[in-house]
A and B are shown apart, each in its own frame.
Chain A
Amino acid sequence: GESVGLHLPTLSVQEGDNSIINCAYSNSASDYFIWYKQESGKGPQFIIDIRSNMDKRQGQRVTVLLNKTVKHLSLQIAATQPGDSAVYFCAETAYNFNKFYFGSGTKLNVKP
């Protein structure tokens, strides 16, 4: 299919813990992946991206891991904070796709 799926629709973590949000993608030809964060009532905000020639990329408190063998993408958030509470979407695309495919999203709840 063309959709990008997510393993966990809802994730609850304790403040200060690390969070891992997973995403399974179905198009083996996808070569570019993005994670977005969407807070309630707002538009999705770019977090981090990764190309298929990489298997890991780090940002500020976030790390994206790409496993092309099993078509799996994950977003790791270190020392999760209340402000991290949001819905996280993964997206995939490729040169000949003509559009981005978005997963259904994972809601991250950070408990104080």
Chain B
Amino acid sequence: EAGVTQSPTHLIKTRGQQATLRCSPISGHTSVYWYQQALGLGLQFLLWYDEGEERNRGNFPPRFSGRQFPNYSSELNVNALELEDSALYLCASSLLFSSSGNTIYFGEGSWLTVV
């Protein structure tokens, strides 16, 4: 069974541009989470989607947005890129979150570099 897949693996953008990152969850998983991980630091929660709706959002500016498609895949958009947006962006998926105890599984991440 395929795990969480993310694309692209690496992305280089110029400050001010927009970046789009994509994620396909594990088959059967309806919840998708996005996390930002700056180099050498911990995981910062960005967004949680379930059944096509945004369920929760972390402390990030509105230029970080995303959506979940009917097939439960998701994309993360970052507008007006800033140098400090350079990080590893991790996607994770799980069964419906409402049941406590649903483990989330991560993809390998997308490295975004803003120059």
Contact = CB atoms under 8 A, between A and B. Distances in A.
A102 to B, nearest CB: 4
Interface string B72-115: 00000000000000000010000001111101111111000000
A100 B33 contact: yes
Nearest to A4: B42
B2 interface: no
Interface string B21-45: 0000000000001010000011101
A91 B45 CA distance: 12
Given A34-B103, A49-B103, A100-B33, A43 B90 contact: yes
A42 B42 contact: no
Contact of B109 (A42, A46, A94, A105): A42
Interface residues of A, number: 23
B100 A94 contact: yes
A104 interface: yes
B56 A102 contact: no
B55 interface: yes
Contact of B100 (A32, A89, A101, A104): A32
Interface residues of B, number: 24
B88 to A, nearest CB: 8
Contacts of B105: 46
Contacts of B56: 98-99
A68 interface: no
Contact of A102 (B43, B55, B101, B108): B43
Nearest to A36: B106
Contact of A42 (B4, B58, B98, B108): B108
Nearest to A100: B104
Interface in A1-47: 31-32, 34, 36, 42-46
A24 to B, nearest CB: 14
Leading 5 A-B pairs by shortest Cβ distance = A43-B106, A104-B42, A95-B100, A102-B43, A98-B56
